[in-house]
């Protein structure tokens, strides 16, 4: 256990950024257009047009949008968990608005408390941009992977490791504890620098914001989430492949960011997306890869 973990206990919610409040704000903006984009994003990640008859678990359910997309695609059972009670409230409210008759199960729970003997297994375990915020990313991936049923799939999005991750960890830690006024100033400064970056590359920043909608997200909520996203870890694609291979998974699809730019990460990093499938006859137990994986995935 690192010195930081001992000092702050990053596994506890009180050490985390208030993700739930941000998701509650975003949930009020969800409409059919955002849902349609989330549906297309899940189709792309799954490689399927439909999820009929499949069970779907969303770890770190946030606003509930991904779970709603799974329900729209025909998943027979949808469940979601989140450490933040406000996120669970947001997810329940979104389903009450857009799928009131669908029996989705949302509960407040840490990924580290989820064991197959209690929660069962799922055809699809989904965790988009979450496990790198748990305070122990490797163990979180291991624990989540153990909930994937035989022949099931594990959909992950994790921050790409860059040379600037250490800098961002310090900034995020400050922002997550800063006053609302300080956060607003930091957001304004970050958006100004993003606008300047677009101008230097002769790109239209206003059009980018106007058309922002990957997975149905909102630009300003995403900026707040990025700046405040603490705890923060990151991982390279090679490290992610090795970790999941040790857990008995093979990559089916992935959407990776290009390598080679030495300044990548200076203005923030993005998530690489992975769809892994459990190899036939292989079961994973939490902690099975820790000795081999160590802390290589922590930036």
pLDDT at res. 283: 60
Domains in the chain, CATH or no CATH each: 3-163+228-293 (3.40.50.150)
pLDDT at res. 262: 65
Average pLDDT score over the chain? 90
pLDDT for 2 beyond 50: no
pLDDT tens by residue, 196-219: 999 999 999 999 999 887 788 999
Give bridge partners of residue 122 from the DSSP assignment.
Answer: 148
pLDDT tens by residue, 244-275: 999 999 999 999 987 666 677 899 999 999 99
Confidence band, pLDDT 50/70/90 cuts, at residue 289: very low
Place of tokens 């022949």: 151
Confidence band, pLDDT 50/70/90 cuts, at residue 53: very high
Distance CA 17, CA 298 (A): 19
pLDDT tens by residue, 136-179: 999 999 999 999 999 999 999 999 999 999 999 999 999 999 99
The count of C-alpha atoms lying within 13 angstroms of the C-alpha of 12, restricted to the half-sphere facing its C-beta, is: 8
- Contact 158/240 with Cβ under 8 angstroms? yes
Give Cβ neighbours of residue 18 (< 8 Å, ≥ 6 apart). Answer: 84, 86, 176, 228
Please compute the mean of the pLDDT values over residues 263-288 and round it to a whole number.
80
Distance CA 212, CA 227 (A): 18
pLDDT at res. 280: 83
pLDDT at res. 12: 74
Find the radius of gyration of the CA atoms of the chain.
18
- Contact 75/54 with Cβ under 8 angstroms? yes
pLDDT at res. 4: 40
Percent of the chain residues past pLDDT 70, beyond the cut: 89
- Contact 254/198 with Cβ under 8 angstroms? no
Distance CA 147, CA 125 (A): 7
Residue 160 per-residue DSSP state: B
Would you call the peptide bond into 128 cis, given omega within 30 degrees of 0 as the criterion? no
pLDDT at res. 13: 72
Q: How far is CA 139 from the centre of its chain?
A: 15
Task: Give the pair of three-digit tokens for residue 173.
Answer: 């830690």
Q: In what order do the strands lie in the sheet with 249-255?
A: 105-108, 77-82, 55-59, 122-128, 148-159, 271-278, 249-255
Confidence band, pLDDT 50/70/90 cuts, at residue 117: very high
pLDDT at res. 225: 96
pLDDT tens by residue, 73-104: 999 999 999 999 999 999 999 999 999 999 99
Strands (E), 184-270: 249-255
Confidence band, pLDDT 50/70/90 cuts, at residue 14: confident
Give Cβ neighbours of residue 229 (< 8 Å, ≥ 6 apart). Answer: 17, 19, 133, 172, 176
Distance CA 113, CA 105 (A): 17
pLDDT for 71 beyond 60: yes
Q: Are strands 249-255 and 271-278 parallel, antiparallel or unpaired?
A: antiparallel
pLDDT tens by residue, 118-138: 999 999 999 999 999 999 999
Distance CA 3, CA 203 (A): 43
């Amino acid at each position: 256990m690192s010195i930081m973990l001992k000092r702050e206990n990053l596994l506890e919610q009180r050490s985390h950024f208030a993700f739930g409040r941000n998701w509650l704000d975003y949930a009020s903006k969800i409409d059919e257009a955002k849902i349609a984009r989330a549906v297309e994003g899940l189709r792309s990640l799954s490689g399927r047009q439909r999820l009929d008859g499949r069970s779907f678990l969303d770890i770190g359910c946030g606003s509930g949008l991904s779970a709603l997309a799974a329900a729209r695609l025909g998943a027979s059972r949808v469940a979601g968990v989140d450490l933040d009670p406000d996120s669970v409230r947001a997810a329940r409210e979104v389903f009450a608005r857009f799928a009131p008759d669908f029996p989705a199960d949302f509960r407040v729970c840490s990924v580290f408390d989820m064991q197959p003997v209690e929660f069962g297994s799922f055809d699809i375990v989904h965790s988009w941009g979450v496990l790198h915020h748990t305070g122990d990313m490797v163990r979180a991936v291991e624990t989540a992977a153990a909930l994937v049923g035989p022949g099931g799939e594990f959909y992950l999005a994790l921050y790409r490791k860059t040379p600037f991750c250490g800098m961002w960890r310090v900034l995020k830690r400050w922002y997550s504890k800063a006053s609302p006024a300080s956060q607003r100033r930091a957001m304004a400064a970050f958006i100004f620098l993003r606008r300047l970056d677009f101008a230097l590359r002769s790109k239209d920043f206003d059009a980018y914001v106007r058309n922002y909608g990957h997975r149905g997200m909102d630009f300003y909520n995403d900026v707040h989430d990025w700046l405040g996203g603490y705890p923060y870890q990151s991982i390279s694609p090679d490290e992610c492949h090795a970790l999941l291979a040790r857990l008995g998974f093979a990559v089916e699809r992935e959407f990776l960011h290009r390598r080679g730019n030495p300044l990548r990460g200076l203005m923030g990093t993005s998530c690489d997306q992975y769809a892994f499938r459990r190899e036939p006859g292989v079961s994973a137990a939490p902690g099975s890869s820790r000795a081999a994986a160590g802390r290589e995935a922590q930036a």
